[in-house]
Amino acid sequence: MVQPRAERLMNLHILLLGAKRFIGKDAIREACYPEHARGPAGDEAFERAFERDKDALRQIGAVIEVGSADAFFDDEIGYRIPTEQTSLPEIRFESDEAAVLGLAAQVWQQATLAKATGRALAKLKGQGVEIDPSRLEVVAPAITADEPAFEPLWDAIGKRRQVSFPYQRADETTPTTRRVQPWGLARSSGRWYVVGFDVDRGAERVFRLSRIVGPVRATGRSGAYDVPPGTDVREVARRLSPSYPSVRAQVRVRQGTGVGLRRRAESVTPIDGRPGWDTVVVEGPVQELSDEVLTYGSDVVVEAPQSLRDDVVARLRAVAGADPGSGNGKAS
């Protein structure tokens, strides 16, 4: 059975990132491309797929190094993604783009994909390839994508195929079928959106994934359209989607954690009298900041504003099943 390309990209990214040494093509093929049987046709199909996938990872920020995969023979070429370059400060991680380091960061918590990645890791370990789990912390997700439309849209975006789907607007009683050339996925104000060209309306549009109420169907050939040069899907999503006021938040972050918050912070200052903690000042919508803060657990504590503290506390109480009226409304 051929695995979805989204799953394969995630597996490849994690394997190259987690490897302590360069991984040869044979090991990569066995772990990530089992559908391509040995032989001239299968070899050619594997090479094409591997080259496309490497290009896709590079486009979303991964730095792929090439080196010797064998300590005794220099002609055995291998690949890896160095964490020291993947995590360079210059690469900025907005809270609405966990995809910047690859699909792994977007869908790591999807059960089916995580299971498949576990199988791929097991295959590599069986071949003697050492995987260092600590190297994978750089792709620990800050945001999940639970909407069923996410994966087929991601696949269509990569292939540049037109899609259609039933879409239920808040002000309409029945869904309507939308035909879209998808340009990209973006997260704005705590929600996922697909940005693209609405074929029937002849204009750029943004659609909230949670309002796609049926299957996403890809139609036509791959490479059927081009994304307009210079398109920033995040900017389009923010411009066309409902906007929420931003707040300037001050949060206490344990040192060595909160990478996403630190990289887009206005300032990061060590806290006097509290070793191991920094004060991080960052701006964004309350709901979006709450999403991110909660993913870090006890490593991040909201200090201000009160609206953000209240939102975080309310969500924690909802999860714990506590009485919303108890307590003093402050985060600890």
- Domain end position, chosen among 110, 139, 168: 139
**Residue 79 is encoded by which pair of tokens?**
């690949």
- The C-alpha atoms of residue 97 and residue 177 are separated, in whole angstroms, by 27
Same domain, 121 and 208: no
- Is 184 a domain residue? yes
Give the closest residue to 14 by CA, choosing from 122, 172, 162, 147: 122
Instruction: Tell me the longest C-alpha to C-alpha distance in the chain.
Output: 69
Same domain, 113 and 55: yes
CA distances (Å), 150 to each of 58, 131, 163, 316, in order? 21, 29, 12, 26
Tell me which range, 37-41, 73-77, 198-202, 289-293, is most confidently predicted by mean pLDDT.
198-202
- Domain end position, chosen among 240, 263, 278: 240
For residue 309, what is the domain's CATH number? 3.30.70.120
- Is 294 a domain residue? yes
Same domain, 182 and 263: no
- Is 23 a domain residue? yes
Helices (H), the chain: 5-18, 25-32, 40-59, 83-86, 103-107, 111-126, 150-159, 233-240, 259-263, 286-295, 306-320
Same domain, 105 and 180: no
Contact 210, 191 (CB under 8 A): yes
For residue 166, what is the domain's CATH number? 2.30.30
Same domain, 272 and 183: no
Q: Quick one: average pLDDT of 56-67? A: 75
Per-residue pLDDT tens for 122-137?
A: 655 565 555 555 555 4
- Is 186 a domain residue? yes
Work out the burial of residue 161: count CB atoms within 10 Å of its CB; fewer than 13 is exposed, 13-18 middle, 19 or more buried: buried
**Residue 203 pLDDT greater than 80, yes or no:** yes
pLDDT of amino acid 110: 41
User: How many residues in the chain?
Assistant: 332
Same domain, 289 and 173: no
- Is 60 a domain residue? yes
Give the closest residue to 25 by CA, choosing from 62, 84, 81, 80: 80
| pTM confidence score | 0.43
- The C-alpha atoms of residue 302 and residue 235 are separated, in whole angstroms, by 27
Same domain, 111 and 20: yes
- The C-alpha atoms of residue 77 and residue 69 are separated, in whole angstroms, by 5
Please give the residue range of the domain that contains residue 298.
Answer: 246-317
- Is 326 a domain residue? no
Give the closest residue to 163 by CA, choosing from 205, 208, 218: 218
Same domain, 118 and 163: no
Cis, bond preceding 166 (omega within 30 deg of 0): no
- The C-alpha atoms of residue 262 and residue 267 are separated, in whole angstroms, by 8
One DSSP character per residue, 84-128 reads HHHT-TTS---TT-GGGG-HHHHHTT-HHHHHHHHHHHHHHHHTT
Same domain, 230 and 260: no
Own/partner contacts of 325-331, CB < 8 Å, gap of 24 or more, are 331/301, 331/302
Same domain, 112 and 15: yes
- Domain end position, chosen among 210, 240, 270: 240
- Is 81 a domain residue? yes
Per-residue pLDDT tens for 225-283?
A: 998 888 888 778 777 766 666 789 999 999 888 877 887 788 889 988 888 899 999 98
Range in 8-17, 83-92, 162-171 with the lowest mean pLDDT? 83-92
Give the closest residue to 221 by CA, choosing from 175, 162, 299, 274: 162
pLDDT of amino acid 9: 78
Element (H, E) at 164: strand 162-167
- Is 157 a domain residue? yes
Same domain, 135 and 233: no
Number of domains the chain contains: 3
Same domain, 200 and 250: no
